[in-house]
Chains A and B, each alone.
Chain A
Amino acid sequence: EAGVAQSPRYKIIEKRQSVAFWCNPISGHATLYWYQQILGQGPKLLIQFQNNGVVDDSQLPKDRFSAERLKGVDSTLKIQPAKLEDSAVYLCASSTYRDYEQYFGPGTRLTVT
Chain B
Amino acid sequence: KQEVTQIPAALSVPEGENLVLNCSFTDSAIYNLQWFRQDPGKGLTSLLLIQSSQREQTSGRLNASLDKSSGRSTLYIAASQPGDSATYLCAVSFDDSWGKLQFGAGTQVVVTP
Give A residues with C-beta under 8 Å from B.
4, 31, 33, 35, 40-45, 48, 55-56, 91, 93, 95, 97-107, 109
* Contact-residue bracket for chain B: 20 to 34
Task: Report how many A-B pairs have Cβ atoms within 8 Å.
Answer: 63
Knowing A100-B99, A102-B101, the reply to whether A91 touches B44 (Cβ < 8 A) is: yes
Give B residues with C-beta under 8 Å from A.
4, 31-32, 34, 36, 41-46, 49, 89, 91, 93, 97-101, 103-106
**What is the bound-complex CA distance between A23 and B104, given in angstroms?**
24
**What is the bound-complex CA distance between A105 and B34, given in angstroms?**
16
Main secondary structure of the interface of B (DSSP, over half): strand
- Which chain B residue shows the least CB distance to A58? B100
Which residues in B have their C-beta under 8 angstroms from that of A97?
A: 99
Which residues in B have their C-beta under 8 angstroms from that of A104?
A: 36, 43-46
